[in-house]
Structure 1
């Protein structure tokens, strides 16, 4: 009997195990449908990605455009160069070597590295065509390719600049600064400097600001919630506890207790 009951129990367990395995296999075959995103969620996702890329690109571009283009343009406008050119004459050109001698250069390709070789070009010019020539004459003025004296190809080619203006006795139109008369440029246009500031600073800055505000509005709750004002309850009136009232109260209590003590010790 025991053997038959144990065999029956084993058969039941085996049947339960097979049924469980069949249920697990059926569950594996059933693939749960993945809930797709709605059109609004997809539009929010892609618009966020596009705005984030634009904001990062415009913001990072300012790190390179400001020192390379915007800062020289602002310095050029601050120097207040004349709008009408004057005639400059090259007086001499010096080619020097060493950091001590190359604190500045008339033209240098590259503005970030130290200059071990430099070229100094000096010119003289007359500010106006007046009769007294010597009063408006400026000698040993420094000729620069731009306000920083450096740049990058193809806009700045120092070989061509030196060959054009470095020969002694060369006459050419130039623009001198009203702030520092010894600083002279071979080319100057005020509208060009203003355009550089607008294109290389104002436009990227506005794009960065606009995209940042758009991302903030899309993902932050910028609504103003009205604040609830709680009415303060009236404070209970404090009883007047002046020195006079306290003294009267103490005297009355003392008199009452004294009379009660006398009545207690009086013989019956």
Structure 2
């Protein structure tokens, strides 16, 4: 009978075996597709690598912005060797210029990358005090007739630290007297504010610390992921060549 034949097919041992094999293969495939569980050591290694990589990239990238904006002016200020004690400066004249060739420098400019088509030149007079061994009179080279007044060694900056409108109003009026610092390397340059310790602090905070962090984290990552052990030289095997006649 047809009914009996169909029931025999359903109870066929070979069909049941094939069905069981298919189910086992599907279960095995499902287990193989699962993400392998990480051990505590592997997790700690992963998070440590991520942390040191982030520190190295962040510190290295910060150097690209901090060096031209802060470190380079601080180094230039120290190289100019400004006098540690202020002298009295008197504004002699103030000039407003326009044009690229007339604005090679500016007493104050907001934005070091801004255009140089408009600029303000402020000139001052100051007198260098005599040396202790010659306090009775000034030598001829101790007197400076005129110098340019700069808001800082670069003559530029960004608000709120540098506001050129306030700087020009305070020191640009002819006849104004105020304390200033002159450069002992270039007597024709004077600044209103100077603090040597502040410049050294800027170099340490904005260059030395990020540079050390970049180097240290790079070395740590190299040690973690590079096998620096000396490997033995490869052994060369000699092969015999037989002549076939």
Match of 1:39 in 2: 40
- Where 2:144 maps in the other structure, the secondary structure is strand
- TM-superposition CA deviations, 1:125-160 (whole Å, max 9, x none): 010166656833322200000000001111111011
SS at match of 1:187: coil
Answer whether contact 1:124 1:137 (CA < 8 A) is retained: no
Which consecutive aligned stretches of 4+ in structure 1 deviate over 4 angstroms post-superposition? 15-19, 129-134, 224-228
Q: How many residues align structurally? A: 226
Instruction: Confirm or deny: 8 A CA contact 1:126 1:133 kept in the other structure.
Output: no
User: CA-atom RMSD, angstroms?
Assistant: 3.1
Offset of residue 35 of structure 1:
3.0
Give the TM-score normalised by the residue count of structure 1.
0.75
Residue correspondence of structure 1 range 155-170 to structure 2 within 5 A: 155-170=161-176
Q: Is the 8 A contact 2:126 2:146 kept in 1?
A: no
Structure 1: gaps of 5 or more residues: 1-7, 229-268
- Give 3-state SS (helix, strand or coil) of 1:43's partner: helix
Q: Give the Cα separation in 1 of the matches to 2:35 and 2:94.
A: 77
Larger radius of gyration: 1
Residues 42-191 of structure 1 mapped to structure 2, 5 A cutoff: 42-128=43-129, 132=137, 135=140, 136-191=142-197
CA distance in 2 between counterparts of 1:133 and 1:140 reads: 16
Residue number in structure 2 paired with 1:201: 207
Cα pair distance change 1:121/1:131, threshold 3 Å: farther
Task: Check if 1:215 corresponds to 2:221.
Answer: yes
How far apart are 1:179 and its partner, in Å?
0.7
Structure 1 stretch displaced more, 131-140 or 37-46: 131-140
TM-score with structure 2 length normalisation?
0.81
Q: Is the 8 A contact 1:144 1:184 kept in 2?
A: yes
The 1:100–1:82 alpha-carbon spacing in structure 2 relative to 1, beyond 3 Å, is: same
Question: Bigger CA drift: 45-54 or 121-130?
Answer: 121-130
28-37 or 104-113, which deviates more = 28-37
Q: For 1:134 and 1:163, how far apart are their aligned partners in 2?
A: 34
- The answer to which of 33-42 and 116-125 deviates more is 33-42
Structure of higher RCO (CA pairs closer than 8 Å, 6+ residues apart):
2
Query: What whole-Å deviation, never above 9, does each CA across 1:44-91 have from its counterpart, x for those lacking one?
Result: 111001110110000000000001100110010001000000000000
